[in-house]
Amino acid sequence: MSKKKIMNQTLSINGVSVVTTDENNKVKNIQFLPDDEFTPVLEQGSKGCGQLQLLRNGAFDYVSQRPRQRANSTLLRKAAHGRLSATQDEAYQLTLKVFKREGLDVRATLMREAMELIDNVKF
């Protein structure tokens, strides 16, 4: 197993920063444009909120990512290996999951739990 070497180094750069916002005043893009070109120390990094990149000319560029839209569904019934939900687009969603390590008869378990979920919910 290889160990990564972490460098703690302060870097001072003179330049101009440009911040772009959207209509809700949320940061959409951040750019830093240095006065002098230099060799990049960091080529590309990633955060949960966006993408940070150091370009070849020494400019930093940050682009924010849109938040992931999550499905909103209402749980109708829960079982040991699955669930039955009603989704916002007026559909029913049946999710079943059996791990191989459980050593169960997958076909029988899925059929039994699917029928149990469907039979115990009023549609």
The pLDDT of residue 115 is above 70 = yes
Contact 32, 54 (CB under 8 A): no
Contact 52, 67 (CB under 8 A): no
The better pLDDT of the pair 115, 13 is held by 115
pLDDT band, residue 43 (cuts 50/70/90) = very low
The CA distance from 6 to 107, in Å, is 50
Q: Which of 61, 14, 62 is nearest to 36 (CA)?
A: 14
The CA distance from 61 to 87, in Å, is 39
The pLDDT of residue 21 is above 70 = yes
Give the pLDDT score at 42: 47
49-53: average pLDDT: 71
Q: What is the pLDDT of residues 52-87, one digit of tens each?
A: 776 666 666 777 777 667 768 899 999 999 999 998
- Does the pTM surpass 0.75? The reply is no
Among 30-44, 61-75, 99-113, the range scoring the smallest mean pLDDT is 30-44
Q: Domain residue spans in the chain? A: 15-64, 73-119
Contact 61, 31 (CB under 8 A): yes
